[in-house]
Amino acid sequence: MSDDSFLREVEEELRSDKMRAFWRKYAPFIIGAAVLIVVVVAANEAWNWWRASTAAAASDRYYAAVNLAVEGDYPAAEDALAAIVEDGPRGYAVLAQFRQGSVQRQQGDAAGALATYDALSSSLDSQRLRELALILAGYTAVDTGTVADVETRVGGLNTAQHPMRNLAREALGLAYYKAGEYGDARARFEEIAADPNASQDMQVRAMVYLEQLAAVGADVSEEILPAVEASGAPEPAATTEQTPAQ
């Protein structure tokens, strides 16, 4: 055997011995890391499966509750929605709570609806959802409270750049109208009618409100009223008993 062959065999043996020693020393760590990776992947897959199956079940429960409301069984619908709020996934629990407020209003329980919307406006993480709850609370307070009650909910949203400003203005205008404060009501409705970013439906409603205000003797801008006729909005009855359409 040549010297080169002998040296190669010795080197290979040494490498083999080193590998065995390395494996004996680090094998537990290597195997442990591999097992951890498998466990993490399996746990992630299990979580995704559980979340999907839970969401599907919550969806079925939610739409079953909605169908109860559509069919007019409001007490059963409210009970079903309350159960989802109690133990459903976060997204469906929030959705069910919003719907719960709607069902309470449909039952004539405006105080309950107001409490539901107020709870949402103070507990949600999403700013836009909190603001939506405030708007719904504001509209509900028109029927049950004072101008101050409505102002407390939506007054902060009535700013020049806020995306929900016209909803806030409408709720405030209705509250002022109900209180007989026609000048303030007119100002809110004129702001909606003059806002180029207001939806067409909302502008038409604002113009109808202004026509109704004019019918009860409120001083409405002559520049606004012709636009009502051009919009094709229905003519209101000239009576002090009539309130703006909601």
Side chain identity, residue 214? A
> How crowded is residue 203: how many other Cβ atoms within 10 Å of its Cβ?
21
pTM of the model: 0.70
Range with lowest mean pLDDT among 49-53, 66-70, 93-97: 49-53
Q: What is the largest CA-CA distance in the chain?
A: 121
Q: How far apart are CA 213 and CA 181, in angstroms?
A: 10
196 SS3 class: coil
Mean pLDDT for all residues in the chain: 80
pLDDT band at 87 (very low <50, low <70, confident <90, very high): confident
Whether residue 236 contacts residue 212, with contact meaning beta carbons closer than 8 Å, is answered with yes
Rg (CA), the chain: 33
- Tokens of residue 217, six digits: 């003797």
Whether residue 71 contacts residue 83, with contact meaning beta carbons closer than 8 Å, is answered with no
**What's the burial of 104, exposed, middle or buried (CB within 10 Å: 0-12/13-18/19+)?**
buried
In this predicted model, what pLDDT tens digit does every residue of 25-52 receive, in sequence order? 666 666 666 656 655 565 566 556 556 6
Side chain identity, residue 243? T
| pLDDT tops 70 at residue 12 | no
| pLDDT tops 80 at residue 115 | yes
User: Residues 6 or more apart from 198 whose CB is under 8 A from it?
Assistant: 166, 192, 206
